[in-house]
Structure 1
Amino acid sequence: MAAANAAESLRDEASCSICLDYFTDPVMTDCGHNFCRSCITQSWEGRDTDFPCPQCRETSQQRNLRPNRQLANMTEMVKKLSQTSVRPKEENLCEEHEEKLKLFCEEDQKMICLICRESRDHKSHTVIPIKEAVQEYKEKLKMHLKPLRKNLEDLLKFTSTEEKKAEELKSEAQIKRQKVESEFEELQQFLIKEKQILLSRLEEEEKKILQRIREHETQLEEQSSSFMQLISEIEEKIQQPATELLKDVKDALSRNRLVDGMWQIYSKCDSGS
């Protein structure tokens, strides 16, 4: 049993994963997997770039195929061992009749012996030699394998296209994001500058207004002083005797008109400002 398992393992190592048969002119891809030259060439038919490995799907930009002489020699050795092995399948005996399983029943999908073939259970069934059944179903499996590989290849192409679209969208979004941030940064700097200009103007206007107010206060103080002095003089004049009162009465009235006139002019200017 162990010898049979070892032989089966050797056969697997010497078989192409595309055609599922022994290697014929084996070649190695850049990723380290081996295939028949004709199988991998057919798999890459119609491609000028992006050559995918049928086993691991890793792609290479060039059609790099290196002949694997050691694997070719090993395959020949495995073939010879398989042909000269001491009946590795001797254990495959019919459980009921203990005869070798030589036929395959199509209806029951099982291997049977020659005695089973003549039994009531299988007499009306379609049976073929196991070797023919293996070859037939191997061909059928290959026929299913080819469209499956094509579907997988198309799916990987679609996935690659979608990934490229996603990367392009990410790149565009990043560019737009940077543009928005840049524009808002410029706008922020502009607003800060405008704010400083407006605050500076307000400060200058405030200084001018305060300066005018102080000037007005000074003028009001001067007017107030003039009024107080004139009031004092008139009150004093009223208390004088007749001779003194009439002596310079025109000058007092004239000063009163002068002060009053100056106040009227100031009031108009102040209300106009």
Structure 2
Amino acid sequence: MWGGGKKGIEPKEEDEEDKEISSCPEIREEFPERTLRVNRALANLAEEAQNFKLDPKEKESKPHCEVHQEDLKLFCETDRKLICSNCVEAPEHRERRFIPTGKAIKIYKDKIKSSLDSLAEKKIMVLEMELTQKRKISEVREQASSLQIHTTSEFTKMHQILTEKE
């Protein structure tokens, strides 16, 4: 008899001779008696999956310092990177200016917003210039066409005058 009622194989009794017929727990298909072995790696993985619990707080995990394994709560303005409170005391961070991450986020959001506003204004100006240039190009083309027609007309008149004088 196989492993005493482990998940995955359900023995069924048949006849009086205690012959076993096993069935698949998923599709219930029966198969003849065989020597069955437990797949330990798969069993361990299944057990880990059953014990695995998602904590909603873990989903919002904060970045941690690679050296001290602490939350990155400060922003070094010189290096422009996040650091933990222990890194502030490190020799390479002496005489540097630090601000809390929340304040740094606000400052940089404001800078980005200001830059976006400025770029939006510049984009509008560029689009207006493009439209103005397209109008000027159209006017120049019309003038060129008019000039070509006028030149052709004058040439025809001169040719006619020369032909008459001949």
> Shorter-normalised TM-score: what interval?
0.5 to 0.7
Q: Which runs of no fewer than 5 residues in structure 1 stay unpaired?
A: 1-83, 199-273
Give how far 1:152 is off: 3.0
Query: Among 37, 41, 59, which residue is 1:87 paired with?
Result: 59
Query: Among 142, 165, 171, which residue is 2:113 paired with?
Result: 142
- Are 1:98 and 2:57 an aligned pair? no
- Are 1:185 and 2:148 an aligned pair? no
RMSD: 2.5
Q: Tell me the distance in 1 between the aligned counterparts of 2:59 and 2:82.
A: 17
Matches within 5 A, 1:194-209: 194=164
Q: Tell me the distance in 1 between the aligned counterparts of 2:68 and 2:143.
A: 74
Q: Tell me the distance in 2 between the aligned counterparts of 1:147 and 1:128.
A: 26
Q: Which runs of no fewer than 5 residues in structure 2 stay unpaired?
A: 1-55
User: Cα deviations across residues 204-260 of structure 1 (Å, max 9, x unaligned)?
Assistant: xxxxxxxxxxxxxxxxxxxxxxxxxxxxxxxxxxxxxxxxxxxxxxxxxxxxxxxxx
Give how far 1:133 is off: 0.8
Structure with the bigger percentage of helix: 1
Going from structure 1 to structure 2, the CA distance change for 1:172 and 1:132 (only over 3 Å counts) comes to: same
Larger radius of gyration: 1
Q: Tell me the distance in 1 between the aligned counterparts of 2:92 and 2:153.
A: 84
Report the TM-score, using the length of structure 2 for normalisation: 0.55
Letter in 2 for 1:168: E
Letter in 2 for 1:154: M
Paired-residue identity, %: 34
Structure with the bigger percentage of strand: 2
Letter in 2 for 1:93: H
SS in 1 for 2:86: helix
Query: Among 133, 137, 145, which residue is 1:166 paired with?
Result: 137
Aligned length: 111
After TM superposition, where is structure 1 displaced by more than 4 Å over at least 4 residues in a row? none
Report the TM-score, using the length of structure 1 for normalisation: 0.36
